[in-house]
Structure 1
Amino acid sequence: MKAMIKTMLVVAVIIGLSTDGYSQKRTNNSTKKITKTSKKNNKVKTIKRTNVVYKNQKRKVTTIRSLPKATKIIKNNNRNVYYANNSFYELNGGRYLPIVPRVGLRISRLPVGFRTINYNNRRFYTYKGVFYIQINNSYEVVNPEVGTIIYQLPSGAEKVTINKERFYEFNNILYEKIQINGTRAYEVVGMIEIN
C-alpha cells in the first residue's frame, strides 16, 4: 500500500512539474493591480541610428565553418538564410555568420523553447529576442508593438544612450528597463530606423 501511495505521489509531482515547468506565458490569477514604474517620461518611437550611442563601439563576431546536415535553407529578399538548431546564419566569405532574422522571414515551426506574449489583443511568440506571429501554417518575423513587455533581455542586447537616456537595443528594437510589481522587466519603447 505504501509503495502504491509513493508511486502515485511521484506521478502527481511529475505531472505537476511538466504542466507548470513548460508553461508558455506568464499568468497572474490574482486581482492585484499591476504597477509599472519607469524613470523616463518621454517615449521613443522611431529613432535614427545616428542618434544612438553604443556603450561598446566594437562587437566580436564568431563565425562557423560548417552547418549540421539538418540545416534548412530559407529564401528571404533574394538571400539564402540557413536555419539550424534554432539559429539563423548567412554565408559570408566561405564561413557562416550567425544573424538575427529580418522582418518578413517565415519559418514553418517555432524554435524549441519559445515564449508566448499577449499584447494589445495580439499573440507574439519570442525566442532569443526575435518576435514571430502566426500566419496560416507558418511563423513570420515581426517587430513587436511599442509597449510590449518582456522579463528577460536577449543575450546579445547592448546598452545604448539616446539623448542622455539609457536604453537597451537588440535587433533594432529599443527596450527600457522598468519595474512591474517590484519585478524587473523591459518595455519596448521604439525601433531604430534601418537605412
Structure 2
Amino acid sequence: MKAFIKIYIVPVVLLVAFTTQVSAQTRQTTTTTTSKTVKTTPKSTTKINSKSRRVPSNQVTYKTPKKKVVSVRTVPNKTVITHNNQNYYYANNKYYTQSRGRYIVIAPKVGFRVKTLPINYKRVQYNTFDYYNAQGIFYVYINNEYEVVDPEVGTIVYELPEDYEKVTIDGQSYYEYANILYEKVQVDGTRAYEVVGIIDMN
C-alpha cells in the first residue's frame, strides 16, 4: 500500500501543485502585461521663454480686455517728430499720433529717435547699459541722439507710468507698459519693478 502511494499518489499531488503554480504565474503575467500605462505631460511653467524672454502677444491676457484710449482735440505747443514716415507730436511729456482729427497718446516704438530727452527722465544703469527712462520708455544715447530700445531683462525701475496694465501669462501676474513686462520685487526693502520680458506683437 505504501508503495502504491509513493508510485501513484505523490506524482499526482506534485503535478497538481505544479499546474496550480504555472496557472497563477500566467494570471499574474497577464495582469501585468494588460495593465494600462498612464503618461503625464508636464505643464509648462511660464510662457516667458527663459532665453529670449519674449512672449507672443496671443499668450498674454489683459485684466481689462479693452484699453482706454486717451485722445484730445488739440495739442498746444507741440513738437513734430517724424519716424518711419509717421508723424509723432510731443507735448506735455507725452507722444501723440493723429487720427480722425484727434490726437491719441501713444508710446514710441523701438528705433524711434529724438535729439532731446523728454523732461523728468531718470537714468537707469544695468550691467554695462546706461538707459534713460521717461514715462516708461527706455532710451540709449547713440550718435548724438536718444533711441528707444527694449531694456535688458533684469533692469530695475522704481515706478511705472500711471497707465500701466495688469496681465497674466500662464496664470502668472505681471505688469505691462509699452510691451515691456514687469514683475513687482523688493530691493533693499523698497518696492520696485523688474523687467522680465518683452511682448512680441503679432
Q: The TM-score by the shorter chain falls in which range?
A: 0.7 to 0.9
1:111-166, CA deviations, whole angstroms, 9 ceiling, x for partnerless residues? 11110001111100001100011112211111111110011122111111101110
1:111 aligns with 118
Which residue is equivalent to 1:27? none
Runs of 4+ residues over 2 Å off in structure 1: 41-44
Judge conservation of contact 1:51–1:162 (CA < 8 Å) in 2: yes
Partner of 2:134: 127
Q: Which runs of 5+ in 1 are unaligned?
A: 1-40
Q: Which runs of 5+ in 2 are unaligned?
A: 1-44
2:166 counterpart of 1:159 = yes
Work out whether 1:169 is the aligned partner of 2:169.
no
CA RMSD of aligned residues (A): 1.5
The aligned amino acid for 2:68 is: K
Asked if structure 2 preserves the Cα contact closer than 8 Å seen for 1:43 and 1:189, the reply is: no
Partner Cα separation in structure 2 for residue 85 and residue 159 of structure 1: 25
- Asked if the contact 1:73–1:82 (Cα under 8 Å) also holds between the matched residues in 2, the reply is yes
| Aligned partner letter, 1:117 | V
What amino acid is aligned across from residue 88 of structure 1 in structure 2? Y
CA contact (8 A) 2:112 2:148 kept: yes
Structure 2 distance, partners of 1:111, 1:61, is 22
| Most deviating of 140-149 and 177-186 | 177-186
Cα gap change, 1:178/1:46 in structure 2, threshold over 3 Å: closer, same or farther?
A: same
Higher helix fraction (1 or 2): 2
Identity of aligned pairs, percent? 49
Aligned counterpart in structure 1 of residue 92 of structure 2, from 85, 89, 110: 85
Q: Residue 153 of structure 2 contacts residue 195 of structure 2 at CA under 8 Å; is this kept in 1? A: yes
Larger radius of gyration between Structure 1 and Structure 2: 2
Quick one: distance in 1 between partners of 2:82 and 2:129? 26
Are 2:58 and 1:50 aligned?
yes
- In the alignment, the residues of structure 2 paired with residue 62 and residue 165 of structure 1 have an alpha-carbon distance, to the nearest angstrom, of 28
Q: 2:70–2:105: 8 Å Cα contact kept in structure 1? A: yes
**1:61 — aligned with what?**
69
Aligned partners of 2:107, 2:197: CA distance in 1, in Å? Answer: 18
**Cα shift at 1:81:** 0.9
How many residues in Structure 1 have an aligned counterpart in Structure 2?
154
Partner SS, residue 58 of structure 2: helix
Please list the CA deviations of residues 55-75 of structure 1 after superposition, one character each: whole Å capped at 9, or x if unmatched.
11122212111121x322111
Letter of the 1:77 partner, please give it.
Answer: N
Map 1:27-42 → 2, pairs under 5 A: none
Q: Under a length normalisation based on structure 2, what TM-score does the superposition of the two structures give?
A: 0.72
**Equivalent residue in structure 2 for 1:150, among 150, 157, 165:** 157
One-letter code of the match for 1:64?
V
Of 139, 160, 183, which aligns to 2:146?
A: 139
